[in-house]
Structure 1
């Protein structure tokens, strides 16, 4: 079996699209649940449910249901989830100590989160360009979605059969206003110009950022930090608890001429032995319950010390809709949300534009 390395996410998605379109895909690909439906809808992925049902090595019930359900397409399990994660708060313990702040509690609120971010933002010379920021985040709708859910709102009108975005409700609007105010009003998030000058993840690595929103994927990079101590905490809680699913699955190309060998790899990679090997990297939360609960993941000698947070929040994880056009819809929302987060337009105008521009990508009732 030949491995092909693609250096970045954008290049990887472009290569997948080009290879499937040309009829020359790799036998096995790893795809995020938000993106596999576009390939499944074209019949280019081999449904893996029948393979799994015959396996003596892995069983459906071995996996977290939150990750398995995200890879269903038209009632068929299409890919096998290798991992799952939720969004969490990574925080610099040294900066908390210097500010006299208690470390985040499991049940902290939006108000406490905001106050913490404000206390960690320092502009010593009052020039409007803080030397230290309280919070760093990717300017994407994926980062704000769990807060919309926590406030009783939703991205779409019907999660099972969406026909439009549903961001104009008081619940969704309230969450969007609160989140964008963190930058526009409270200035605890770097501005666009400051983000371009020094990306928020670089600020965190350099010890000039108090908190950063990320999934489990940040762990291998953060383990390289030697200048300060850090840990993770769950997202703050609004009216209810909610997290957002991050999950990648192994998929098999329908055009593969080596399906027996391809399944053997996918089966092993998602076995206890296979996932234990990958868990050592720190990058993923295993989709197998037994591995996630084992020392391979909950290693007491490896950071973050509070890795159990990733498991504790699983019951509250929700997924975005599985749609073959979701990539297009999300891209439109990202463009408008980024403008709102940096004060170009109001959050209400941004979501109105996102709703109008994405309408063509929804099936009509």
Structure 2
């Protein structure tokens, strides 16, 4: 863990002063190296501002540490955060809205960014953070396993039936012990993995995303998509069961070459680039009744405390401007970790030619049918609860109806604050 902090917002530097800006994030070694380079370049170009970066590799520990720091009135000046988890901080006005700073900036414009990411970070009409990336789940696939099975690579118009047939063909029990040695498909069983299939089937997860009063898992279209997703393991057996997944995760199996398809967002690309034994690429999600995708996005957020002093606010905003500029986004895009939120960088060679995967455009194409989870004080808790119930159904521990009943009851308690 790298944790670098500053004791004061202003430190002496000769006859003048230097603004000390703290920046906190979570990520693996590749991400840490990329952001350290970003900060180093910024510091070299901006005399009078010294940014220090703190990386907590575990996402759970990062969120816990951030909550503790806010509770102690000692938050970082800037933190990189997913909009889905922002609800409590936005409701408590713990982050400083960036609308006026963006409007007055001579380096950034709203029109520079994909509209959906700005909308996703907007709460009660105010832009809470500036989006750093634009990602969504895709299907990573092992070309060697497809070739060995005589399968065509996934195309943009492939259907749910095509997907299931492909997963079946890729699932193999080579030693005849009754347990597949090679699985056709795997993913982390989370709400955000289910959502695009629900939306693509015409269903919804909430009755009112902005002001939810209940889940809508019993909506026919939602239940149908839920059953299709769960059946991948309980009926089709193309995905690992709980014991197999705990023994070796789907990500590890894909990297090892024993899984044909793996669903994840852009975050996994630096890890997949360590693969040397086979070629892989990225394909869009299979299409149900309608094409659909779900937004993954992290943003640079400024704590409200950092904005209290005008000089310090200016220093913090200068760093955010730099990080979100074409220079900053190009640097991060070249690492393979991010899909730039700035349209010009996303359409540039720095991103499109950063391979593998060869099909970097798959993430840009997904924006046409992309939806986002809400910023809401209860959403993070709802999402985690629903993921736990979804796992129980996916691994055959409860029926679909039992899962829906349990999730509905828990959701009512969460939404009502019980």
Normalising to structure 2: TM-score of the pair? 0.85
Deviations along 1:28-57, whole A, 9 cap, x unmatched?
001101011211111110001111010000
Matches within 5 A, 1:95-110: 95-110=145-160
Aligned twin of 2:94: 44
Aligned twin of 1:326: 379
CA distance in 2, matches of 1:64, 1:362: 31
SS of residue matched to 1:296: helix
**Structure 2 unmatched runs, 5+:** 1-50
CA distance in 2, matches of 1:40, 1:112: 42
Match of 1:265 among 305, 316, 319: 319
Aligned twin of 1:309: 362
Match of 1:68 among 115, 118, 129: 118
Aligned twin of 1:174: 224
**Contact kept? 1:279, 1:286, Cα under 8 Å:** yes
CA distance in 2, matches of 1:74, 1:158: 15
Higher relative contact order (CA 8 A, sep 6+): 1
The structure with more radius of gyration: 2
TM-fit CA distance, 1:363:
6.0
Match of 2:71 among 21, 25, 29: 21
**Contact kept? 1:156, 1:164, Cα under 8 Å:** yes
CA distance in 1, matches of 2:255, 2:385: 30
Aligned twin of 1:285: 339
Runs (4+) of structure 1 exceeding 6 A deviation are none
Match of 1:55 among 81, 90, 105: 105
Matches within 5 A, 1:245-264: 245-256=295-306, 257=309, 258-264=312-318
**Contact kept? 1:207, 1:228, Cα under 8 Å:** yes
Aligned twin of 1:232: 282
**Contact kept? 1:234, 1:309, Cα under 8 Å:** yes
CA distance in 1, matches of 2:360, 2:141: 13
CA distance in 1, matches of 2:193, 2:120: 18
**Structure 1 unmatched runs, 5+:** none
Q: Is residue 146 of structure 1 aligned with residue 196 of structure 2?
A: yes
**Contact kept? 1:333, 1:351, Cα under 8 Å:** no
Distance 1:363 1:50, change over 3 A: farther
CA distance in 2, matches of 1:82, 1:165: 30
CA distance in 1, matches of 2:321, 2:405: 45
TM-fit CA distance, 1:121:
0.2
Aligned twin of 1:337: 390
CA distance in 2, matches of 1:318, 1:361: 23
- Number of residue pairs matched? 363
SS of residue matched to 1:338: helix
Q: Is residue 84 of structure 1 aligned with residue 134 of structure 2?
A: yes
Aligned twin of 2:163: 113
